[in-house]
Structures are given as C-alpha cells and as structure tokens.
Amino acid sequence: MATKKKGADALAVNPWAFFDTVTTTDPFVDAGVDRPTYGFADSGSYALNAVICGDCYGGFPKNKVIQAAGLYGSGKSLIGKYNFCPPLFADQYFIYYIDTENETTKEDLKFYADFPEKQFKVLHFHTVEQCHHGISTILKQLEDYMKENKTLINPHKLAFVLDSQGMLSTNKAVNDVIAGEDKTDLTKAKKLAAMYRDITFRMGELGCPMYVTNHMYIDPNAAATHSDPKKVAGGEGAKYSASVILSVYKLLERVNVGSSKDDKKKEVQGIFIQVGNIKNRMVHEGFGTRLYLSYKNGLSRYYGLHVWAQEAGLIQKYTNQKDWPGLELPKINGKTFLGNKWVICDPNKPRDQWLVAPEPRLHTAQYIGTILDPINEYVKARYKNQKLGVFGDENTEAATEDELSKVDESLLDTADAEVNSKLIKKAAQQAEALGLDAEKDLDAES
C-alpha cells in the first residue's frame, strides 16, 4: 500500500514522470540531454544575414543545408567562397570544398579567396554516386570516433561546400555515353534525393553545415501553367532536404569613367545581387533584398538594409530644406552635397540631431549603421516566423466578430457569383442547342 501511495503522490506532482524512465533508443533523449544549439555564421552582410534567418546579427545556420539557386554567373559561388567559408574558418571549422565543375583547385582558393592552407581540402566528384559515397564516408568516420570516445557531441567542426549540384552526372549517364547510347537519364533526381535523405540528418546530428550551389532553368511551359518560369534543377526530392533555398540573380553595376566626352565610357565595377527565399523554415518565403558586391572591396556590409529602413520609415528622401529645418547638409571635400540625400530618422535621437546622408554614403556604418538595431527589430517583427495563434482567439490580435462576419459575407457573395455565372453559362449553352436567343430570353425573364 505504501508503494502505491508513493506512486500516486509522484503522479500527482508530475503526471508524466513515468515517461522519464521509458527507453526510446534516441541517445540524446535517453541520456536526458538536449541536442546542442549550433548558432549562426555571420555572412559579412547584415542584409544577407536577415534574409537567411530573420536576424541581422545571425547568418548561415551551422548545422543545416543551405542552397543557393540561380542562373549562370549570378554570384552563387562567390557567396560560398567569400561569405559562407570565412566565418567558419574563423570559428575553427574544417571545410571540404566539393568541386563538380573542375573549376577550382586548392591553390586557387588559397590565392583568390584566402583559404587557410591547413583547414580545407578540395574534392573533385563527377557523379552523384561518387559525391554521396565521399560525403557518407567522411561522416561515418566522425560517427565512429564519437562511438569510440562515448560522446554525443562531435568535437570536430566540419562543413561542406558543394559547387555545384547542377553539374553532377550519374553512373548511368556516364556509362550510356561510353556505350554510345543516346538515352535520357531519369535517375539523377532519384539519386540526389537518396543522397540528401542519407546525409542531411547525419550532418545535423554532427553539427555540419553545407552550402550548395544549384542551377536554375527556364521552363518553356510556365506560361501555360501560370507558374514561375525559373525552376530549380535537381528534382523535387533534393528541395525537401534544404532548410533554406535562396534565389540569386545578378545585375551589373556600370559606372561612367573618363574625364572628357572623348574618353567617357562605362565600366563594370561591381554587381548587384538580388537574393530572396524560395524556401525557408525561419523567415517568410519571398522575403529578400538586393546586395552589392564590389570587385575591389567585396560584399558591402550595410547595403540592402535601406529596403527595410524605408518600409519602417527609418529613412526618408530629403527633398527640401523647408521639409527638414535645422538638419545639417552633408559635405564632400568641404562642399555641400547637392545630389540625392536621405534623412536618417533615428527613433533614439531628437529630430534636430538626425543625420542627412548623401546617396553614395547611405550604406555605411556612419549613416544607416546608426539605426541597425531599429531596422533589425522591424525585420524580426515583420518577416521572421513567429508563434502562431488561433484566428479569432481572444488572446490574439485577430479580427473581431464583426470583421469575421464581413469576411464570411464576402466569401458567400463570391460563391454566389460563381454559382450564378455557371448557371447562366449552362442556360446559354442549352438555349444555343435549342436555337433560342439566350440573352433575350434571360433579360425578359429577369
């Protein structure tokens, strides 16, 4: 009796206490510990950080698959080399850079991208099967190390770059060419799906992030189906594994050079990269902005924030001194700047202390950088995935009963209109079959 009473008292305190003793075969759950939170790697651009995870101070998640898809020359590989890898190197990660295009070597990455010699290796794979086997072999050795040392946490920081998924072939396609057979390869999408099904979970458990570049193609049948003509290559299976799929598009920056009309010409000095979310588990899909990459200085730290600053009313165009009295106009080389100007409407400063930024200098720490925190709060409040309530619940800021009734009435009106339209169309078809004037008869009846 005492035992029963003790058990009953325990259940009264914690009715779920029994499940603390249930074995699940999940090593973390059975050990009573939570899986680690790996955090984010700063991309070097506050705007790109926000697009990826909804936080200007975040970046690339350190245990997930991130895919960047775009047309040729859109900046996908540049983001991988110059924005994904450097913060991971700084955090003591080792990176396997998988080249499927025979485009780069270890010496290239050391010279052009400043990859530290001891912290990376370049792997060259031609087929999906080779890539899958190579990654799986590496992960297996980490898993074996953890078993031998009886640890749940992988002590070896590791990341992968796959550049690019679109150029991977398959064993079947290679063998068909060797045999002189001109056959369509229908196995690639299935092979890619199988690869990601295997490695995605394992990399997440080991805390291994992966950056994948992928191709987009133009669908000639998109107009007929009213869908986006730009499609991500690789089949549907590969899309499910990525936590983030970014769309990447490029626009050249052409700048006038030359001091006279005779030698005046335009020169490309950088590119604008339009980046948005095709899929994202952390922010709203479709959320994006435009980044700026200078061929001289790299990716701008602050460019792209102006889109959200304008939405939030944190910057406004300076049109007239009368509209903004008391604000000091910017000067360049000692002269007042008369071109396009922006007012930094800092909510933490009185109006007479607001800054006026020249257009070329808006995207700097000196100007838009002073309102980075208010911009970040706006982005997180509007675009980051939040806890969802129940529509109409009294604890949420949902519509009132009056608003709900209006919505219902409008839906009913729409439904009635659709039904009436179908009935009229059917009556017209029947009248035409009988040789009657449907429009005249309908008007007379009404």
Give the span between the Cα atoms of 143 and 440, in whole angstroms: 80
Last residue of a domain, which of 328, 351, 382? 382
Domain membership of residue 123 (yes or no) is yes
- Nearest CA among 59, 55, 68 for reference residue 38: 59
Are 98 and 146 within one domain?
yes
Assess whether 112 and 236 both reside in one domain.
yes
Q: Are residues 231 and 100 in the same domain?
A: yes
Does 252 fall in a domain?
yes
- The pLDDT tens digits for 385-424 are 887 777 665 555 554 545 444 444 455 455 556 555 655 6
Residues of the chain whose pLDDT is less than 50?
Answer: 1, 222-226, 229, 399, 401, 403-409, 412, 438-446
Nearest to 216 by CA among 233, 239, 234, 236: 233
Q: Give me the residue label for tokens 């050990």.
A: 31
Strands 244-257 and 65-70: parallel
Residue 427 lies in a domain: yes
Could you give the number of structural domains in the chain? Answer: 3
Specify whether 333 is located in the same domain as 433. no
Beta-carbon neighbour count of residue 412 at 10 Å? 10
Note whether 85 and 228 are same-domain residues: yes
Of 304, 329, 346, which closes a domain?
Answer: 304
Same domain, 298 and 329: no
Tokens standing for 445? Answer: 């009846």
Same domain, 299 and 438: no
Does a structural domain hold residue 298? Answer: yes
**pLDDT score at 367:** 94
Q: What is the pLDDT of residue 443?
A: 43
Q: Where in the sequence is the domain holding 412, given as residue range(s)?
A: 401-445
Residue 4 lies in a domain: no
Residue 360 pLDDT: 81
> What is the per-residue pLDDT across 108-158, written as a single tens digit (0 to 9) for each?
999 999 999 999 999 999 999 999 999 999 999 999 999 999 999 999 999
**117 assigned to some structural domain:** yes
Give the pair of three-digit tokens for residue 187: 């196995």
Q: Which two tokens stand for residue 37?
A: 């939170």
| Separate counts of helices (H) and strands (E) for the chain | 15, 17
In this structure, the answer to whether residues 32 and 178 fall within a common structural domain is yes
Residue type at 234 in one-letter notation: G
Q: Is residue 392 part of a domain?
A: no
Q: Are residues 188 and 250 in the same domain?
A: yes
Q: Is 93 a domain residue?
A: yes
CATH number at residue 227: 3.40.50.300
Q: Could you tell me the end-to-end alpha-carbon distance of the chain, in angstroms, rounded to an integer? A: 84
* Domain boundary residue, one of 289, 304, 319: 304
DSSP string, 243-311: SEEEEEEEEEEEEEE-SSTTT-EEEEEEEEEEEEEEEESSB-TT-EEEEEEETTTEE-SSTTTHHHHHH
Instruction: Find, among 298, 388, 294, 280, the residue nearest to 55 by Cα.
Output: 280
Residues 296, 438, single domain; the answer is no
pLDDT of residue 407: 46
If asked whether residues 296 and 316 sit together in one domain, one would say no
Q: 3-state SS of the chain: helix, strand, coil percent to 5? A: 40, 20, 35
**193 and 232 fall within a common domain:** yes
Among residues 355, 350, 383, the alpha carbon closest in space to that of 370 is found at: 355
In this prediction, residue 88 carries a pLDDT of: 97
Nearest to 215 by CA among 203, 230, 201: 230
| pLDDT for position 63 | 92
List phi, psi (to 5°) of 69.
-115, 140
Angle ∠(182,171,64) on CA atoms, nearest 5? 125
Q: How far apart are CA 153 and CA 51, in angstroms?
A: 29
